[in-house]
């Protein structure tokens, strides 16, 4: 839903080409308020209640209030979080740059029937399909493999674009952007599932909140840096996105391998019926 919500302003622009940007932003904001109302009406899901008799709760003494820093001492949580940070460096800066990538390549002249807004909606919106597919595949291969594959694919797409954007035919450029758009967000729900699985129940909410807060702080830096660099060097600014997936993959693989070598247990091993890829629609 996050992906479709991000793509929706571009769709609104397509449907109302004569509309001012103020009206588009206002309509998007009203939809956000409607989404908040739905969240309030639906409430928490059936799997949100943690059993007070969970074996994991016994790991945290009742006399010691759990600290969110405890989660970062868990290597499996750190691995998922570092991978997520690399993902966040790339994702929102990529989404911000999508209209610029389309407008400054040969796509606009090769596809005159589609506006920049229409193509932006397609490139960003296809990420919803990528996330759903990742959620389905994770049931068979596991979240770690899906997250690694998606992050590697999006990083590769960014590298190919940065290297070859001057020489790609419009058809190849379209396929590359669609692959990039599908893979860039697909690792996010898997990293979230891995992080939640790694935490004791008493720490899940606060740990994921800190993880997301740091992740979105990273996006502020990457968006600002990418757009500023774009004003000076154009599409070559996309080189700035490449380190995110590369460093995220390296940190995730190294930290996870360390946890496995030390046989660090999965914290959720005793949980009951927790839906592991519950964020697969992101």
Statement: residue 282 has pLDDT above 70: no
Handedness of CA 175, 242, 3, 220 (dihedral sign): negative
Q: Nearest to residue 150, comparing CAs of 195, 180, 120, 128?
A: 180
Within a domain: 57: no
Rounded to whole angstroms, the Cα distance separating 221 from 93 reads: 9
Q: How many CB atoms lie within 10 A of CB 69?
A: 11
Q: Is 281 contained in some domain?
A: no
In a domain, 232, yes or no: yes
Q: Determine the average pLDDT of the residues in 220-245.
A: 96
Chain position carrying tokens 């940007």: 21
Q: Please give the Cα distance from 25 to 41 (Å, whole number).
A: 24
Q: Evaluate whether residue 106 is within a structural domain.
A: yes
Predicted confidence (pLDDT) at residue 69 exceeds the cutoff of 80: no
CB 122 within 8 A of CB 98: no
Point out the least confidently predicted range of 83-92, 101-110, 214-223: 101-110
Helix, strand, coil share of the chain (percent; to 5) = 75, 0, 25
Cα–Cα distance measured from residue 158 to residue 180, given in angstroms and rounded to the nearest whole number: 7
For residues 99 and 93, give the distance between their C-alpha atoms in angstroms, rounded to a whole number. 11
Q: How many CB atoms lie within 10 A of CB 279?
A: 18
Residue 272: is its pLDDT beyond 60?
no
Range of the domain at 201: 2-14+71-261
Please report, for residues 71, 83, 88, the alpha-carbon distance to residue 262 in angstroms, rounded to integers and kept in the order given: 17, 20, 28
**What is the token pair recorded at 63?**
């006399």
The confidence band for 18, taking pLDDT boundaries of 50, 70 and 90, is low
Average pLDDT over all residues of the chain: 84
One DSSP character per residue, 214-241 reads HHHHHHHHHHHHHHHHHHHHGGGGGGGG
Please give the distance of CA 157 from its chain centroid, rounded to a whole number: 15
Measure the CA angle with vertex 245, ends 242 and 246; round to 5°. Answer: 80
Q: What is the pLDDT of residue 266?
A: 58
Task: Report d(CA 178, CA 25) in Å as an integer.
Answer: 25
Rg, C-alpha atoms of the chain:
20
Residue 53 has pLDDT above 50, yes or no: no
Contact 268, 196 (CB under 8 A): yes
Count how many domains the chain has: 1
In a domain, 31, yes or no: no
Residue 105 has pLDDT above 80, yes or no: yes
CATH number of the structural domain spanning residue 127: 1.20.1250.20
Structural domain includes residue 46 = no
Model confidence band, residue 37 (pLDDT cutoffs 50, 70, 90): very high
Looking at residue 45, its pLDDT comes to 67
- Residue in this structure with the two tokens 């964020």, named with its chain if needed: 279
The answer as to whether 63 is a domain residue is: no
Check whether 278 has a pLDDT greater than 60: no
- The residue that leads in pLDDT, 89 or 42, is 89
pLDDT in tens, 197-215: 998 888 888 899 999 999 9
pLDDT at 58 over 60: no
- What is the rounded CA–CA span in Å between residue 174 and residue 182? 12
In a domain, 10, yes or no: yes
pLDDT in tens, 107-150: 877 887 788 888 999 999 999 999 999 999 999 999 999 999 99
Q: Is the pLDDT of residue 62 over 70?
A: no
Other beta carbons within 10 angstroms of residue 188's beta carbon come to: 26
pLDDT at 281 exceeding the cut of 50? no
- Pairwise pLDDT comparison (264 vs 209), residue with the higher score: 209
Identify which of 16-25, 75-84, 114-123 has the greatest average pLDDT: 75-84
């Amino acid at each position: 839903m996050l992906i479709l919500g991000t793509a929706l302003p571009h769709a609104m622009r397509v449907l109302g080409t004569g509309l001012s940007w103020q009206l588009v932003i206002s309509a998007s904001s009203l939809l956000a308020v409607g989404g908040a109302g739905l969240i309030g009406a639906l409430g928490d899901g059936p799997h949100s209640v943690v059993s007070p008799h969970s074996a994991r709760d016994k790991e945290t003494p009742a006399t010691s209030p759990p600290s969110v820093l405890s989660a970062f001492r868990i290597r499996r949580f750190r691995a998922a979080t570092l991978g997520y940070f690399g993902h966040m460096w790339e994702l929102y800066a990529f989404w911000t740059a999508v209209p610029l990538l389309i407008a400054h390549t040969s796509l606009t002249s090769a596809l005159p029937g589609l506006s920049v807004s229409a193509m932006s909606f397609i490139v960003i919106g296809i990420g919803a399909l990528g996330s759903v597919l990742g959620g389905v595949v994770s049931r068979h291969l596991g979240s770690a493999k899906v997250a690694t594959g998606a992050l590697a694919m999006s990083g590769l797409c960014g590298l190919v674009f940065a290297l070859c954007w001057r020489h790609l035919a419009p058809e190849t450029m379209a396929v590359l952007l669609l692959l990039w758009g599908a893979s860039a967000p697909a690792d996010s729900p898997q990293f979230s599932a891995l992080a939640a699985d790694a935490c004791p129940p008493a720490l899940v909410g606060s740990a994921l909140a800190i993880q997301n807060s740091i992740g979105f702080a990273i996006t502020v830096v990457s968006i600002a840096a990418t757009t500023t660099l774009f004003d000076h060097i154009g599409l070559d600014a996309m080189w700035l996105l490449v380190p995110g997936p590369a460093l995220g993959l390296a940190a995730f693989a190294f930290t996870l391998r360390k946890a496995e070598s030390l046989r660090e247990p999965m914290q959720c091993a005793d949980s009951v019926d927790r839906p592991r890829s519950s964020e697969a629609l992101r």
